[in-house]
């Protein structure tokens, strides 16, 4: 039986090899990210970033090189800001002060916070949320599904959902630690990075801590492409787990 792979066995690359890997990772991630961004789809394009960060972290990126990558990314931010559409820039800034445009870019955030707060501890009950069913909260079945769920099931229900996500992430991390090779570890941790990014951004967006970028909540938001991606990703993770028992 093949021995499980552990992160401690990842070999340390020389500085030249590491720089080459950073450049390759930037090209691999940057090209599809730009293609998605020009559609335009800002939210989906951002999901490539946690994959790149996780891959570089597990690959042994040194601190100085990490600072250089962050500096380079910071220099490209002004260019990216001007590339964005006006409504995208409004979404990225309105969450800091949604009251400034109550009927425009800040409307969704305000209604989402009202929905979450009105749920209280136990919620209003299934299909009894006023913000959701009176159409105050736009498209609650997609980006703001967590707000609709929190209104109907309260703080306890929302905490239960987050606990289930935490259990899934811990199980995925365990699968990465017991993967039979380094490629399996990288694949599983890439899925962990994407799933964590989706959860943090979506929940933060609902609570007003993150900008509205259109990122769905995994396995809850309505949308065929999101569900298909998560099923494919979890299927690959299960394949890595099963390969532990292959001679």
* 153: nearest Cα among 181, 132, 174: 132
| Residue-level pLDDT at 247 | 56
Residue 119: the pLDDT is 86
CA 48 to mean position of chain CA atoms: 9
Looking at residues 181-191, what average pLDDT do you find?
91
Query: 147 to each of 73, 111, 130, 187, 204, how far by Cα in Å?
Result: 32, 9, 12, 31, 11
Q: Residue 12: what pLDDT?
A: 42
The tens digit of pLDDT for each residue in 37-95 reads 888 777 788 888 888 888 888 877 777 767 777 777 777 767 666 677 777 777 777 77
Confidence of residue 24 (pLDDT cuts 50, 70, 90): confident
Q: How confident is the model at residue 159 (pLDDT cuts 50, 70, 90)?
A: very high
CB-count exposure of residue 246 (10 Å: 0-12, 13-18, 19+): exposed
Report the pLDDT value the prediction gives residue 158, as an integer from 0 to 100.
94
Q: What pLDDT, on a 0 to 100 scale, did the predictor assign at position 18?
A: 61
What percent of the chain is predicted at pLDDT more than 70? 87
Contact at 8 Å (CB) between 116 and 151?
yes
Q: Is pLDDT above 50 for 6?
A: no
The owner of tokens 């967006």 is: 205
Considering only CA atoms, which of 151, 145, 149 is closest in space to residue 131? 151
Q: pLDDT tens across 81-113, in order?
A: 667 777 777 777 777 777 777 777 778 888 888
Mean pLDDT, the chain, rounded, equals 81
The 8 Å CB, 24+ separation contacts for 230-234 are: 230/195, 233/191, 233/194, 233/195, 234/191
Distance CA(128)–CA(25), nearest Å, equals 48
- State the DSSP code for 4: P
Query: Quick count: other Cβ atoms within 10 Å of Cβ 4?
Result: 14
Tell me what pLDDT residue 9 has: 43
Instruction: Give the tokens for residue 130.
Output: 């006023």
Mean pLDDT confidence for 18-45: 79
Rounded to 5°, the CA angle 83-88-36 comes to 60
Q: How confident is the model at residue 234, as a pLDDT? A: 92
How far apart, in whole angstroms, are the C-alpha atoms of residue 180 and residue 134? Answer: 52
What tokens appear for 67 in the block? 């600072």
Q: 221 — alpha (psi -120 to 50), left (phi > 0) or beta?
A: beta
Please give the average per-residue pLDDT across 231-235, as a whole number: 93
Confidence at 7, pLDDT banded by 50, 70, 90? very low
Q: At what angle do helices 107-118 and 182-207 cross, to 10 degrees?
A: 90
For residue 134, report the phi and psi dihedrals to the nearest 5 degrees.
Answer: -100, 10
């Amino acid at each position: 039986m093949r021995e499980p792979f552990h992160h401690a066995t990842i070999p340390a690359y020389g500085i030249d090899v590491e720089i080459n890997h950073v450049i390759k990772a930037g090209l691999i991630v940057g090209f599809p990210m730009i293609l998605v961004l020009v559609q335009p789809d800002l939210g989906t394009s951002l999901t490539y970033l946690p994959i790149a960060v996780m891959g570089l972290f597990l690959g042994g990126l040194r601190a100085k090189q990490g600072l250089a990558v962050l500096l380079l990314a910071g220099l490209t931010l002004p260019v990216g800001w001007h590339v964005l559409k006006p409504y995208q820039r409004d979404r990225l800034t309105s969450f800091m002060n949604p009251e400034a445009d109550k009927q425009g870019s800040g409307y969704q955030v305000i209604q989402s916070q009202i929905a979450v707060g009105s749920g209280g501890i136990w919620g209003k009950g299934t299909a009894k949320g006023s913000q959701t069913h009176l159409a105050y909260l736009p498209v609650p079945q997609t980006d703001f599904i967590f707000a609709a769920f929190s209104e109907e099931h309260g703080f306890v229900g929302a905490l239960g959902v987050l606990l289930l996500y935490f259990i899934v992430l811990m199980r995925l991390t365990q699968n990465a630690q017991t993967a039979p090779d380094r490629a399996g570890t990288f694949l599983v941790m890439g899925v962990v990075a994407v799933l964590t990014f989706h959860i943090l951004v979506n929940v933060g967006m609902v609570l007003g801590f993150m900008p509205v970028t259109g990122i769905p909540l995994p396995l809850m938001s309505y949308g065929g492409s999101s569900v298909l991606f998560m099923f494919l990703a979890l299927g690959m993770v299960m394949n890595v787990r099963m390969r532990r028992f292959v001679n």
